[in-house]
């Protein structure tokens, strides 16, 4: 469906990958800070997964965006450097510097989680990790919000021109980042996690319960996004109709984004979370479920960007 559209899969993948990376790093820094000044054990182990996951998707996503700008055409290999040549308050200029600093911070943060990393003592590594964690949380949220602001800054595209889109992308980014961490720890359990099953399941409960809340928030924000459009007359209301029943993207939106990416994972996670939450029973989730449910959330996160990017292009532009 992206054939013939100015913005195709490279931009969609950029929005998705940047969101996953920002969400994973924000979640990693948050869980590390949650452990307090004496953070150790599973707090550190979970934070390590997020720290190692975060840089790569953001770097790949930015590379895809550079590719979309035509920088790999003959004679234009360094065209992307023009993004740094112009400094102003435009979304592209702000986003360029924001993503650049985010990548640098994420790489350094990941380095602090490498055991026996050369060139830095254990005390220095821990102190640097605390400092970076406080900086990374607002930076990660800013990158997650930016992916929505980049689209919302185009008033000629009524589907994107919503103040709620940035919030929707932010929550989706954190949710997919948490899902990426849950999948990683299920696929590649560390030595400490393999030896301490109780701590492994306890940390899994904290992250799974957090993911359920994020999914709930995302469903609420999607409802607000639709209601905002429905209560707005003119181009915005007409544009959003493409994802409502009868619209050309309705099936894709409700099946892949809402059902597969949000409702189904929330039901499964609640099935394992509620006994622990209500009756204080032991939390234990099968390894297969720990892989399938985050995978569904990641698919839903990608499809959200796909539907939003395509819908914004097939319903516009209009006069500014």
pLDDT tens sequence across 62-99: 888 877 766 555 556 666 666 666 666 667 778 788 89
User: Which pLDDT does position 81 carry in this prediction?
Assistant: 64
Query: Residue 304 and residue 2: Cα distance in Å, rounded?
Result: 14
> How big is the chain by its Cα radius of gyration, in Å?
20
Work out the percent of the chain whose per-residue pLDDT is above 90.
50
CATH entry 1.20.1630.10 includes domain 9-314: yes
Q: What percent of the chain has pLDDT over 70?
A: 85
Q: Given this model, what pLDDT does residue 279 score?
A: 83
The pLDDT of residue 39: 46
The residue-averaged pLDDT of 131-150 equals 91
Q: How confident is the model at residue 147 (pLDDT cuts 50, 70, 90)?
A: confident
Mean pLDDT within 208-231: 92
**Is the pLDDT confidence value at 34 over 90?**
no
Q: What is the structure's pLDDT at 232?
A: 77
């Amino acid at each position: 469906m992206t054939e013939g559209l100015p913005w195709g899969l490279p931009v969609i993948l950029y929005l998705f990958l940047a969101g996953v990376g920002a969400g994973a790093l924000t979640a990693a820094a948050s869980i590390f800070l949650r452990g307090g000044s004496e953070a150790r054990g599973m707090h550190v182990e979970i934070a390590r997964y997020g720290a190692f996951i975060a840089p790569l998707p953001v770097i790949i996503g930015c590379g895809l965006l550079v590719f979309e700008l035509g920088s790999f055409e003959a004679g234009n290999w360094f065209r992307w450097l023009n993004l740094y040549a112009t400094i102003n308050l435009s979304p592209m200029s702000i986003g360029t510097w924001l993503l650049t600093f985010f990548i640098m911070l994420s790489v350094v943060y990941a380095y602090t989680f490498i055991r026996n990393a050369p060139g830095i003592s254990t005390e220095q590594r821990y102190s640097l990790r605390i400092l970076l964690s406080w900086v990374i949380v607002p930076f990660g949220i800013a990158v997650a919000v930016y992916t929505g602001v980049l689209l919302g800054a185009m008033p000629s595209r009524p589907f994107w021109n919503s103040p709620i889109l940035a919030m929707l992308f932010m929550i989706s980014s954190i949710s997919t980042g948490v899902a990426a961490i849950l999948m990683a720890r299920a696929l590649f359990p560390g030595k400490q996690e393999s030896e301490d099953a109780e701590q492994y399941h306890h940390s899994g409960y904290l992250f799974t319960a957090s993911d359920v809340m994020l999914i709930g928030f995302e469903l609420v924000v999607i409802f607000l996004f639709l209601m905002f459009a429905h209560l707005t007359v003119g181009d915005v209301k007409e544009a959003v109709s493409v994802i409502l029943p009868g619209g050309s993207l309705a099936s894709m939106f409700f099946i892949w984004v809402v059902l597969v990416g949000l409702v189904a994972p929330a039901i499964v996670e609640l099935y394992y979370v509620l006994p622990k939450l209500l009756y204080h029973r032991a939390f234990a989730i099968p390894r297969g479920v720990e892989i399938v449910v985050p995978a569904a959330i990641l698919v839903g996160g990608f499809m959200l960007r796909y539907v939003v990017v395509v819908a914004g292009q097939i319903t516009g532009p209009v006069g500014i």
